[in-house]
Amino acid sequence: MIHQLIFAAPKPGMTKEEFHRYWVEEHAVRFASKIPQIRKYAVDTSLDVAGVGEPLWNGIAEIWLKNEEEQLASLQTPEFLQGARLDEPNWAAFWRTVVLDTDTDVVVPGEPENTVQPGVKLVLLAKRREGMSREEFRRHNRTAHAPLVARIPGLTRYYQSFTRDSWYGISEPPFDAAYHLWFDSPTILEAALKSTQYAAVEADFKDFVNEQYLHSMAVREHWVLGPEPR
């Protein structure tokens, strides 16, 4: 299943709080969730957490689609063309939007996937260092980096999302991976960021990531469709 991540920011003149409310309560419910090919849909709204830098975006749409055929079909539906796409300028600075289609590995499962994982999530975006192939990048993530992340105190769930190969046939994508780390509360996340185990994760990033393109944001997840697929 395709796990699509859409990073968005508010249009000029709209506050972060107005942006979050409109996205979750208006756009997601009235427009995006009506697209029939979307199997699951969540909106992640940004949080202010000590130790996490100022994010480039203020939220993430997470969309799950069965395959490329259904994804293409979704972009041709009236629900998208006359609904979700037309509504976007009402709340989002669409020229700042970044989209990634990914394949996601479950590293630490946490709560069952068809149930809501409570708490907050740290999302990290990474670009592989220059000269490293994406196969080497993914192998390092799975065999060396993931065990380090799994040791972070307070971690309750951990996913690695890798940009799909089809994107590289068009151009080099802005990011090669997104990491999703769940914690039960902002306080527990803040403590985790100060731990020696998280310091080891940061040290490992220096070996395989271009740190100029390493970005983080803390979010709270809001399910619109799911977590059980429709």
pTM of this prediction?
0.96
The domain spans of the chain are 2-225
How is residue 6 written in tokens? 């859409």
Please give the pLDDT value at position 119: 94
DSSP assignment of the chain, as one string?
A: -EEEEEEE-BPTT--HHHHHHIIIIIIHHHTGGG-TT--EEEEEEEE--TTSPPPS-SEEEEEEES-HHHHHHHTTSHHIIIIIHHHGGGTB-GGG-EEEEEEEEEEE--S-TTSPPPSEEEEEEE-BPTT--HHHHHHHIIIIIHHHHHTSTT--EEEEEEE-HHHHTTS--S-SEEEEEEESSHHHHHHHHTSHHHHHHHHHHHHHB-GGG-EEEEEEEEEEE-SS--
At the second CATH level, the architecture of 2-225 is 2-Layer Sandwich (3.30)
State the 10-residue block means of pLDDT for the chain, 230 residues long: 98 97 98 98 97 94 98 98 97 96 96 89 97 97 98 98 94 96 98 98 96 95 95
Please give the pLDDT value at position 214: 95
How is residue 137 written in tokens? 């990048």
Please give the pLDDT value at position 207: 94
Please give the pLDDT value at position 114: 84
Please give the pLDDT value at position 53: 87
Please give the pLDDT value at position 115: 87
